[in-house]
Amino acid sequence: MEHIYPAFERGRIMKKELLWALRDYSYSALQLQYQDYSDGIIRGCRLRTEDNCLIAGKGIIKCQDFIFLITEEERIEYAPTEEFVSLKFRVKLREELPDYVRYITEFALDKNPERTRNELEICRFKLKQGACLRTEYKDFYDIQTEFDTVNLADATWAGIGGNTLSKEVTDYFAKEVLKCRAADGQDLQFAYLLLQGREAVNRGTIEDYIYRKTEGRRSEIQSTKDMFQKLEDILEGIRNGERTYGMAREEENGRMIIMD
């Protein structure tokens, strides 16, 4: 195997072979890095609102097995409809030409929550007349507030082994856990794991934590929304001092016999 790396020095002429090597290296490295990831947001694409526009930040997205670099903010105008609207990233066109492959993509609002193979969900929301759309949350539970709040529980985030929860969602969970004095070693370790990376934690890691905390079955988790709801229950249990979610409820139904 032959590997060519150009020498970027003054006076050196960049021959076509060196330009080809530079092209192949820069393109292939990114594709190889995320080849085992599912389609979804890999990094960035943070949301904010401004003048009746939802603004999606810079980021990296994988869709139809291709890595897209979002190098500029995208502004999407919205209006109150009082029904759920999904903000999607969509590949509108893939065209193979002799010299290159051409993709046309867009961010668009869609009333249909279902996704096709060429679509990813960035967020969803239900906005009332006269209200303002929020992207800041009071606490972890506020993320799924029904009205006037950007909901990230169903966002399509990429991960090894399938779609996973938004990095922003798991960061909120971790910060809330770290505020709880009743959190045990397992909770703290998981919280630090969630916060240390730049990308979303893989689905299997979250499912394993939920399985151990709830003594449930992995088959009960079918979607990222299911994962979010399980984490809500676990956080409530930690705040109430329960070692395992559901244990306190079972103990309340039991009886204590004291022998004198």
Give the residue, 37 or 8, on which the prediction is more confident. 37
pLDDT at 118: 93
pLDDT, average across residues 226-237: 92
Q: Is the CB of residue 127 less than 8 Å from the CB of residue 148?
A: yes
What are the tens digits of pLDDT across the range 200-214?
A: 999 999 999 999 888
Measured in degrees and rounded to the nearest 5, phi and psi for residue 123 equal: -170, 175
CA distances from 109 to 39, 59, 155, 250, 258 (A): 19, 19, 14, 45, 63
Residue 214's contacts (CB-CB under 8 Å, 6 or more residues apart) are 230, 233, 234, 244, 245, 246
The residue ranges of DSSP E strands in the chain, in sequence order, are: 40-44, 47-50, 53-56, 59-63, 66-70, 74-77, 85-96, 101-110, 119-125
Where does the pLDDT of residue 108 fall: very low under 50, low under 70, confident under 90, or very high at 90 and above? very high
pLDDT, average across residues 65-83: 92
Distance between CA atoms of residues 149 and 133, nearest Å: 6
Where does the pLDDT of residue 250 fall: very low under 50, low under 70, confident under 90, or very high at 90 and above? very low
- DSSP-derived 3-state class of residue 121: strand
What average pLDDT is seen over the chain? 85
What are the tens digits of pLDDT across the range 148-204?
A: 999 999 999 999 989 999 999 999 999 999 999 888 999 999 999 999 988 999 999
Tell me: pLDDT of 76 over 70.
Answer: yes
Q: How many CB atoms lie within 10 A of CB 172?
A: 21
Q: pTM score > 0.75 for this model? A: yes
